[in-house]
Amino acid sequence: MIQITEKAVKEIKRIQTTEEAAKGAETMLRVMVAGGGCSGMSYKLGFDDKPAGPNDKVFEKDGVKVIIDPKSYLFLSGTELDFSDGLNGTGFVFNNPNAKRTCGCGSSFSV
């Protein structure tokens, strides 16, 4: 399971409103890990209207549904998804206890 902070929930709901208006359907946040980035793997966020497969894990926090595919879940289990809107930049932040090394910008990692 991954944890989602209150700030992240609020921002996801704000973005979801626009996505749902464009798609005309309820959406769920998809969190993925893909190869790439300066440390080997990078985080990806997107919206889907349903799980892609029967083994996708679905979590819910305060009305926000999150989908993670089984492969990504191996790297994301125990991760906290936060949202930063401070002076050092705005965006989603992954606090991943599985990451052994991260890049300077925090968007890629290795295990």
Q: What's the pLDDT band for 30 if we cut at 50, 70, 90?
A: very high
Closest CA to 6 of 44, 59, 63: 63
Q: Which residues contact 2 (CB under 8 A, 6 or more apart)?
A: 31, 59, 66, 68, 76, 77, 78, 79, 80, 81
Q: Which two tokens stand for residue 21?
A: 């208006």
- Domain edges within the chain: 3-110
pTM of the model: 0.81
The string of DSSP codes covering 57-70 is: EEEEETTEEEEE-H
| 38-52 pLDDT, tens digit each | 667 888 999 998 888
Give the Cα separation of 106 and 91 in Å (integer): 11
Q: Classify 105 as helix, strand or coil.
A: coil
Say which CATH class 3-110 falls into. Answer: mainly beta
Q: Which residues contact 57 (CB under 8 A, 6 or more apart)?
A: 1, 67, 68, 69, 70, 73
Poorest-pLDDT segment among 10-14, 27-31, 74-78, 103-107: 103-107
Q: Classify 53 as helix, strand or coil.
A: coil
* Residue at 62: amino acid letter: D
